[in-house]
Amino acid sequence: MQIAQFPFTKISKSYLGQIIRPYAEVLIFAKKRKIWLVTNMVIDSGADYTLLPKKYALALGIDLAKDCRAETTLGVGGSETVYLYKSLLVKINNWQNKIPVGFLERDDVPALLGRLEFIEVLRVIFENHRTIFEK
């Protein structure tokens, strides 16, 4: 059963050609404010879990020092402190799930939709510059 479909987004042109990325519109529930926040996330099958910039923690009313567990992670850009949060309610159209997320201390990176409890529990198809989510 298809949940949603999203076109890839053109980012820039490089020496290698046109750069396009798979994005998905994901709603995140802000429990304290009782509202859904809309965010566009890069679908990143290489990300172990969903990663969000610091501004999302602020918008969701999550205190990084009190509500999260700080860990150091390594990636292409070097090491970084990530604040792990056990459970956020997210949804795409009518499908929803509670997922763990990590918050970064910075805002200059895009939100990344990762595997743990999200991509791994859905069928994700990248085809003809579009992403299809199926249950």
Domains and CATH numbers, the chain: 2-134 (2.40.70.10)
Parallel/antiparallel/unpaired status of strands 112-113 and 123-127: unpaired
Sign of CA dihedral 26, 6, 121, 41: negative
pLDDT tens figures, 119-132: 999 999 999 999 99
pLDDT at 101: 98
Our CA angle for 121, 127, 129, nearest 5°, is: 115
pLDDT at 1: 94
pLDDT at 45: 93
pLDDT band at 79 (very low <50, low <70, confident <90, very high): confident
pLDDT at 118: 97
Half-sphere exposure of 21 (CA within 13 A, CB side): 16
Of 107, 58, 109, give the one whose Cα is nearest residue 85: 58
Task: For residue 61, count other CB atoms closer than 10 A to its CB.
Answer: 11
pLDDT at 19: 94
pLDDT tens figures, 33-67: 999 999 999 999 999 999 999 999 999 999 999 99
pLDDT at 61: 94
Given a cut of 90, is residue 73 above it in pLDDT? Answer: no
